[in-house]
């Protein structure tokens, strides 16, 4: 009797799964589908579920658009700088928290750092808008780098703390006994072992900076423009060139997705800690 009920539940479960997969996959499919069409085909009703005339021109047009190019360039500069700073400073603190929790300030300090990440950014935006304005720093790389660095640092500290904590202390002790001083032992043993973890922290910090919209919207926008600011402007007004907008979004979301697929193994842990995002 339970066999029958069981298979009913199974069937319902499979239907449910398929519905969910379609829900997740359809928008991505539609985005890709649109990005390879000419604008005339995009506006056609009923829509075509596969490009009749496959074209790369939306991509070429976007790449030739100076505003789009500049925005990708600005995004790259800001996210790379932010990431390097966050991972470097975060690793120092993470190591101290993992190895010498008491001397480094203990659980309370590390949790305080984490909580900074969790505060709604709106709490920080207005004061920083004010101070950067007074210092003439709005619309500069510096303003965004400072903010992203601040928001990435707690995540970096925490994940590095976990990754360093995973490396048995005795490995370092063995190196000391072998005759290596702490600094040399760190480079011989600890760093190579923590590197995969560090790579995933680099990823997460980079994605945060790459994707961020709100700070960018308030703090920059004229001389400096990251692509999350530029894409919505492409999609405003009348007679929007949706094929180009979608091509632009595909270009912009490609780097994080490719990196994620390469590095997914390391990222699951970061995700399960639930501190992935801002």
Partner 1 sequence: MARIRFENITKKFGKTVALKDVSFDVDDGEFFVLLGPSGAGKTTTLKLLAGLYKPTEGNIFINDKNVSEDPPYNRNVAMTFESYALYPHLTVFENIASPLKAPGRNIPSKEVKERVERVARMLKIDQLLDRKPAEASGGQKQRIALARTMVREPDIYLLDEPLSHLDAKIRYELRQEFHRLEALKGVTTVYVTHDYVEALSLGDRILMLDHGEVQQIGKPREIYEDPANIRVAKQVGQPDINIVECVTRVEGEKIVLMPKNEPTINIEISDEAQAAFRNNTYPEVLLGIRPQFIKVGEIPGSQIFDGRVDVYQVLGSEGVLNVEIGDLNLIALTSPEDRYTHGEEIKVYFLKDRFYFFSPENGERIRFS
Partner 2 sequence: MSRKGEDILVKRYVPFLLVLPAFIVLFSVTIFPTIWSLYMSFHQYNPIIGKPVPVGWKNFNYILHWDRFQNSVVHLFYYLLFGVGIEMILGITVALLLYELIKSEKIRLLLLVLFIIPMMIPPSIVGTLWRFLLDPFSGVVNTILSMLHLPVVDWFGSKMALASLIIADIWEWTSLPLMIIYSGRVSLPQSVYEAAWVDGASQWTILRRITLPMLKELIAIALIIRFMDAYKFIDKVTVMTQGGPGGASELPSYLAYLVGAQQFNMGVASAMTWIIGLGSIIVIMLFVKFMKKVLKSQKIA
Residues 52-71 that bind partner 1 (CB under 8 A): none
Piece in contact with partner 1 (CB under 8 A), picked from 26-34, 47-55, 146-154, 165-173: 165-173
Q: Which is nearer to partner 2, 20 or 73 (CB)?
A: 20
Q: Which does 132 bind (CB under 5 to 8 A by kind): partner 1, partner 2, none?
A: none
Piece in contact with partner 1 (CB under 8 A), picked from 9-17, 57-65, 188-196, 250-258: 188-196
Shortest Cβ 85–partner 2 spacing (Å):
9
Is there binding between residue 13 and partner 2 (CB under 8 A)? yes
Which of 79-113 are b and which e, b meaning 16 or more Cβ less than 10 Å from the residue's Cβ? bebbbebbbebbbebbbbbbbeeeebeeeeebeeb
Piece in contact with partner 1 (CB under 8 A), picked from 17-25, 69-77, 92-100, 169-177: 169-177
Shortest Cβ 52–partner 1 spacing (Å):
54
Rounded to whole angstroms, the Cα distance separating 192 from 201 reads: 15
Rounded to whole angstroms, the Cα distance separating 39 from 246 reads: 11
Shortest Cβ 52–partner 2 spacing (Å):
16
* Token pair of 47 as six digits: 């829509």
221: left (phi over 0), alpha (psi -120 to 50) or beta: left
Q: Which of 40, 54, 64, 122 binds partner 2 (CB under 8 A)?
A: 122
Q: Which is nearer to partner 1, 111 or 178 (CB)?
A: 178
In terms of Cα–Cα distance, which of 249, 225, 222, 223 is closest to 235?
Answer: 249
Q: Which residues contact 73 (CB under 8 A, 6 or more apart)?
A: none
């Amino acid at each position: 009797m339970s066999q029958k009920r069981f298979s009913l539940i199974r069937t319902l479960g499979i239907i449910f799964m398929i519905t969910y997969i379609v829900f997740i996959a359809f928008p991505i499919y539609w985005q890709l589908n649109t990005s390879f069409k000419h604008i005339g085909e995009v506006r056609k009703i009923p829509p075509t579920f596969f490009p009749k005339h496959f074209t790369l021109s939306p991509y070429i047009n976007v790449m030739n658009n100076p505003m789009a190019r500049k925005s990708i360039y600005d995004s790259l500069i800001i996210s790379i700088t932010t990431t390097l700073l966050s991972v470097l400073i975060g690793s120092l603190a993470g190591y101290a928290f993992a190895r010498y929790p008491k001397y480094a300030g203990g659980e309370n300090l590390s949790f305080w750092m984490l909580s900074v990440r969790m505060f709604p950014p709106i709490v920080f935006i207005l004061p920083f808008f004010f101070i950067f304005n007074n210092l003439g720093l709005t619309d500069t790389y510096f303003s965004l780098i400072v903010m992203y660095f601040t928001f990435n640092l707690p995540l970096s500290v925490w994940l590095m703390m976990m990754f360093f904590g995973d490396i048995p202390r005795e490995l370092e002790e063995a190196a000391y006994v072998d005759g290596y001083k702490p600094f040399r032992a760190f480079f011989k043993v600890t760093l190579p072992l923590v590197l995969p973890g560090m790579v995933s922290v680099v990823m997460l910090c980079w994605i945060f900076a790459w994707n961020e919209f709100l700070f960018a919207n308030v703090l920059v926008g004229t001389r400096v423009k990251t692509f999350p600011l530029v894409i919505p402007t492409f999609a405003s007004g009348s007679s929007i060139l949706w094929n180009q907008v979608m091509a632009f979004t595909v270009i912009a979301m490609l780097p994080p997705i490719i990196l994620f697929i390469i590095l997914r193994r390391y990222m699951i842990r970061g995700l399960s800690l639930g501190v992935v995002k801002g």
